[in-house]
Amino acid sequence: MADQELDARGLNCPLPILRAKKALGTLQSGQTLKIIATDPGSVKDFQAFAKQTGNQLLESNEAGGEYTFLLKKS
Partner 1 sequence: MAQKKMAIIASKGTLDWAYPPFILASTAAALGFQVQVFFTFYGLQLLKRDLASLKVSPLGNPGMPMKMPFGPGWFRGINWNIPNAVQAVIPGFESLATVLMKQTIKNKGVASIPELRGLCQEAEVTMIACQMTVDLFGMNTAEFIDGIHYGGAATFLEFAGESDVTLFM
Least spacing, CB of residue 13 vs partner 1, in Å: 7
Contacting positions for partner 1 (CB under 8 A): 10-15, 17-18, 21, 39, 48-49, 52-53
Least spacing, CB of residue 6 vs partner 1, in Å: 13
13 is catalytic: yes
What are the φ and ψ backbone dihedral angles of 10, each rounded to 5 degrees? 85, -10
Nearer to partner 1, 1 or 64 (CB): 64
Least spacing, CB of residue 63 vs partner 1, in Å: 20
The DSSP secondary structure of 28-50, one letter per residue, reads PTT-EEEEEE--TTHHHHHHHHH
- Four-point Cα dihedral 15, 67, 9, 57, nearest 10: -40
Strands 32-37 and 66-72: antiparallel
Catalytic residue among 13, 26, 59, 62: 13
